[in-house]
Amino acid sequence: MNITIIGCGSVGEKRMRAIGDEHTLLYAVDSNIIKAERLCERRHEGTPARCWGEAVSSKAVDMVIIATPNDALPVIAEAALEQNKHVLVEKPAGRTPEDLKYVADALEKTDALLKVGFNHRFHPALQKAKEMVSSGCLGELMFVRGRYGHGGRKGYEKEWRFDVESSGGGELLDQGVHLIDLSRWMFGCEFEKVSGFTGTYFWDTDLEDNGFMQLLTGASQMAWLHVSATEWKNMFCFEIYGKHGKLQIDGLGGSYGTERLTYYKMLPGMGPPDTVIWEFPAEDASWRLELEYFTDCIEKGQPPEGNIYDAIKAMEIVHSIYGGRAI
């Protein structure tokens, strides 16, 4: 498959490394041409470019991977779909629910497929947790609790993620959509009641550096979620509570610590549970596994999970908590 990558920052680099030998990088595009040139050099192939028009419209291109700031994501995704290109667009795929609905409308008019970059679904601990939830070993799910945070870096408040025109929102939109998506995925149903709070505690910005969510399903199952840009030590923890046991996922590899899944199995007499721990110390393969899954969907003509409709649901929850804040 011939691929174009648009946006050659840190996420674009990760997407490039996920491209296997069976695929070809035709174009790398970034407004900073040095980043595009560097990405092509590391891949040992591809044409660097500043403007994405030709890299999207070229008849030789099969897939467009979009890893730009949020304001450009839906614009480029819509243009690529209009050229009948398959699209892998980074989360959150836009800044507002309306942005995403334009993309969904474009998708309905083409034979191409689109996937949103919810790579967390492809971490091995979360994949195994989903299998165990589906097997019924936890019994009926009661609630999930998720925490996800980092500490930023010097000058972080001046980067595009804290510019409302570029990002559309702060930490709730940035990392929050991952926890929302994982919660919807585990419960297998929608949230009917949404409440939350956003606060700016440390960074000198008009956007939130912390977001808190309470999401309730029709069966009163709760997702209690917190995302933070003031965590200081990067962390990820996602807990799934059922009537027969609990699963806890810690870490995502790298600076987030070794990825680990712990299963606490309730015993007939209750008391301390049987505990089984799986560790996944290998390098983060979620980016590669997500691309492999998407290319398999393309070969089979099968719409992927983690798609634009999942992104719309996550975005609607974020904007419900924002209270319709204008951009």
Give CA–CA dist 140/5, Å, rounded. 42
Cα-based distances in Å from 325 to 71, 174, 217, 247, 290: 16, 16, 24, 36, 32
With a cut of 50, list the residues of the chain below it in pLDDT. 326-327
Q: For the chain, which residues make up each domain, given as ranges?
A: 2-119+287-305, 124-282
pLDDT for 309 equals 97
Q: For the chain, what percent of residues have pLDDT higher than 90?
A: 98
> What integer best gives the mean pLDDT of the chain?
96
Q: What is the DSSP code (8-state) at residue 245?
A: E
Provide the pLDDT for residue 1: 95
pLDDT at 160: 95
Q: Which CATH superfamily is domain 124-282 in?
A: Dihydrodipicolinate Reductase; domain 2 (3.30.360.10)
Question: How high is the pLDDT of residue 140?
Answer: 97
pLDDT tens sequence across 235-282: 999 999 999 999 999 999 999 999 999 999 999 999 999 999 999 999
At 325 the pLDDT is 56
CATH number of 2-119+287-305: 3.40.50.720
